[in-house]
Amino acid sequence: MKSCILLLFLGIVLLHTVSAATNTLQYFYTATSGIDNFPEFVTMGIVNGHQIDHYDSITKRAIQKAEWISGAVDPDYWKTNTQIYAGTETVFVNNINVAKSRFNQTG
């Protein structure tokens, strides 16, 4: 009987010490116009405040920024994300051009 109560007590203590971790995944997109030697489009992925990847309109490819990410994604991840970011770049650059024309701006 004592061992059964002890096991029950340990089970309750272990139950209260286990908790799920909360993680955050964020993507930041930036489009600019008319800045010399600076990409027109930049995006980066951030997990729990640490940068995991980077893409810009000069390099035109997704680049790994965290060592651990290579073990967490499939081999096509970088190729797929490069294609996604390139499509997003087109949309953002077009939006900048539309905004410039609507606000009568040249640069």
CATH number at residue 34: 3.30.500.10
Q: How many residues in the chain?
A: 107
pLDDT tens, N- to C-terminus, the chain (107 residues): 444 444 444 444 444 455 578 999 999 999 998 899 999 999 999 999 999 999 999 999 999 999 998 888 898 999 999 999 999 999 999 999 999 999 998 87
**Residue 54 lies inside a defined structural domain of this protein:** yes
**Residue 63 lies inside a defined structural domain of this protein:** yes
User: Residue 96 in contact with residue 33, Cβ under 8 Å?
Assistant: yes
CA distance 97 to 6: 70
**Residue 83 lies inside a defined structural domain of this protein:** yes
CA distance 83 to 13: 49
Can you give the residue range of the structural domain that contains 26? 21-103
**Residue 67 lies inside a defined structural domain of this protein:** yes
**Residue 44 lies inside a defined structural domain of this protein:** yes
**Residue 14 lies inside a defined structural domain of this protein:** no
Buried b (16+ CB within 10 A) or exposed e, 53-85: bbbbbeeeebebeeeebeeeeeeeebeebbeeb
**Residue 28 lies inside a defined structural domain of this protein:** yes
In degrees rounded to 5, what are phi and psi of residue 57? -75, -5
Number of domains in the chain: 1
pTM of this structure: 0.74
**Residue 43 lies inside a defined structural domain of this protein:** yes
